[in-house]
């Protein structure tokens, strides 16, 4: 039984989370993008990454229903075999058009997109430099590669510059990997400065826009658009599972070679392609994203309202409003109690315990949706005030 | 007796986490200190900046103590 012995420690850690294990929350029913039923009670969903409220978009739901009827429940195969339908190819063309790039590749999940893009790009003798706060999928993608892996300090172009300089001529075979908008604290990468540094050393830049697609930039193309580096960034990766409300991921690039990634990417080859319904929903959601800018405007209005309400409570919160923001608590047990307290008050958020939270400590992460009502946002603030006061964490 | 390089690395590590009184260059970093991954990353970046070097994460896979790390750093600065 030695193979299974390690799970004793896992079970002990799980028990330490108490009866209401935050990793096993079950949403019993959904009433809307922002309201569900948990433990039999109506609960405001403030931890879903459903930034544009797209999961119930009428056009996406109708498109998915039609595809299910016309093309069946699944493709049963890899994109490299029988799993490429006309709709997959059409979505790739639509993504390329959205970014103004020559090509894009669709993967089965956002996680697979990061693994697939990195493993296609990085070979022996290459170097990859990751922001220290980059998502686990980006670190995992690097583990798949024979390239040398380095980290630089979070959002610190000077730290990156030093490391590229230390690489010498090898910097020209280096890939810099950052996120546009970081998914725990909601802070943006200083992309214009990072792009200038990578250009100075002749390196390439990959930006993960998982949390910023449809959320940032005049046309919703993310922080790369906002920073004005669409023609400097080499690869943009992202997910369909947040602002588009579906499943899947992509890599788009100004380099035509991205179209060859499938031939060099095991996470692309050795998994089934997204189902016809998933692709149909994604295409419809992308059309909605492009034609209804009012959703992004509403999201930011809501983010500002929630940030203002939370700031007035005096909780430890980032300075700038963002669609994803976290309240930091120093004590693990306080964070766990606050998370349970919020759920009892009918508010679901995400809980980050060490070592998952950047900078140490624990965090309650809230993500805002364009679909949140003012009443829901105000109730989130009121519920947090109540549980934090009960913990003695507020005056 | 710890070497000057090992002592310097130990000083950097002490800035990341409290070291036990009996800590030496041979103390197992993971077993004795229960360092979190973020702390390890921070420590490595501190070391890189102190010695103006760059350390591949795969080189760290076999580093169990300060003596091992000193060997990696010594090679990089040579």
User: Interface pTM (ipTM) of the complex?
Assistant: 0.92
- Cβ distance B56 to A150 less than 8 Å, yes or no, reads yes
Encode A55-91: b = buried (16+ Cβ within 10 Å), e = exposed.
bebebbbebbeebbeebeeebeebbeeebbbebbeeb
Q: What domains can be seen in chain B, in order of their start residue? A: 4-77 (1.10.1200.10)
The nearest CA of chain A is from the CA of B48 a distance in Å of 9
- Cβ distance A148 to B38 less than 8 Å, yes or no, reads no
Is the peptide bond preceding residue A355 cis, with omega within 30 degrees of 0?
Answer: yes
Backbone angles phi, psi at A224, to 5 degrees: -60, -35
Residue B1: predicted pLDDT: 60
Q: Is B14 on the interface with A (CB under 8 A)?
A: no
The nearest CA of chain B is from the CA of A359 a distance in Å of 8
B64 CB-contact burial (10 Å; exposed 0-12 / middle 13-18 / buried 19+): middle
Say how many CB pairs under 8 Å bridge A and B: 40
Residue A1: predicted pLDDT: 65
Q: Is B77 on the interface with A (CB under 8 A)?
A: no
> Mean pLDDT for each 10-residue chunk of chain A (395 residues)?
88 82 90 97 97 98 98 97 97 98 98 97 97 95 94 97 97 98 94 98 98 98 98 98 98 98 95 98 98 98 97 90 93 92 97 80 94 98 96 79
- Cβ distance A358 to B37 less than 8 Å, yes or no, reads no
Residue A117: predicted pLDDT: 98
Longest CA–CA span in chain A (Å) reads: 62
The nearest CA of chain B is from the CA of A214 a distance in Å of 30
The nearest CA of chain B is from the CA of A288 a distance in Å of 39
SS3 B58: helix
Backbone angles phi, psi at A216, to 5 degrees: -125, 150
- Cβ distance A149 to B58 less than 8 Å, yes or no, reads yes
């Amino acid at each position: 039984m030695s193979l299974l012995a390690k799970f004793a420690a896992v079970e002990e850690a799980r028990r330490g989370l108490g009866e209401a294990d935050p990793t096993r929350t079950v949403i019993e029913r959904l009433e809307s993008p922002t309201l569900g039923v948990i433990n039999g009670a109506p609960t405001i969903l403030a931890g879903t990454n459903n930034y544009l409220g797209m999961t119930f978009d009428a056009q996406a739901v109708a498109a998915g229903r039609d595809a299910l009827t016309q093309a069946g429940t699944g493709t049963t195969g890899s994109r490299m075999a029988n799993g490429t339908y006309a709709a997959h190819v059409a979505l790739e063309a639509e993504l390329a058009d959205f970014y103004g790039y020559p090509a894009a590749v669709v993967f089965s999940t956002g996680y697979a997109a990061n693994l697939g893009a990195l493993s296609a790009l990085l070979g022996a003798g290459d170097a990859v430099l990751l922001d220290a706060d980059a998502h686990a999928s980006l670190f995992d993608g690097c583990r798949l590669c024979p390239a040398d892996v380095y980290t630089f300090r979070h959002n610190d172009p000077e730290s990156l510059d030093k490391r590229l300089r230390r690489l010498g001529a090898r910097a020209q075979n280096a890939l810099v990997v950052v996120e546009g908008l970081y998914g725990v604290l909601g802070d943006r990468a200083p992309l214009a400065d990072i792009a200038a540094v990578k250009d100075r050393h002749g390196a390439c830049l990959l930006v993960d826009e998982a949390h910023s697609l449809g959320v940032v930039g005049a046309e919703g193309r993310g922080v790369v658009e906002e920073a004005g580096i669409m023609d400097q960034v080499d690869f943009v990766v992202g997910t369909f599972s947040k602002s588009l409300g579906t499943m899947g991921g992509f890599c788009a690039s100004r380099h035509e070679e991205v179209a060859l990634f499938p031939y060099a990417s095991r996470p692309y080859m050795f998994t089934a392609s997204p189902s016809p319904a998933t692709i149909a929903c994604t295409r419809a959601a992308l059309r909605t994203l492009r034609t209804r800018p009012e959703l992004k405007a509403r999201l930011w209005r809501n983010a500002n309202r929630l940030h203002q309400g939370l700031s007035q409570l005096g909780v430890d919160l980032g300075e700038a409003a963002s669609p994803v923001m976290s309240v930091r608590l120093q004590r693990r047990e306080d964070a766990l109690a606050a998370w349970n307290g919020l759920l009892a008050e009918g508010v679901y958020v995400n809980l980050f315990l060490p070592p998952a939270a950047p900078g140490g400590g624990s965090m309650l992460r809230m993500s805002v949706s364009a679909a949140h009502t003012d009443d829901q946002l105000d109730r989130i603030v009121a519920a947090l005030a109540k549980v934090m006061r009960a913990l003695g964490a507020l005056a | 007796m710890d070497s000057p390089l090992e002592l310097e690395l130990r000083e950097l590590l002490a800035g990341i986490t409290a070291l036990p009184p009996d800590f030496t260059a041979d103390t197992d970093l993971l077993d004795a200190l229960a360092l979190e991954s973020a702390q390890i990353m921070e420590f490595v970046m501190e070391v890189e900046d102190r010695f103006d070097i760059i350390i591949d994460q795969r080189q760290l896979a076999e580093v169990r103590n300060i003596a091992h790390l000193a060997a990696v750093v010594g090679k990089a600065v040579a």
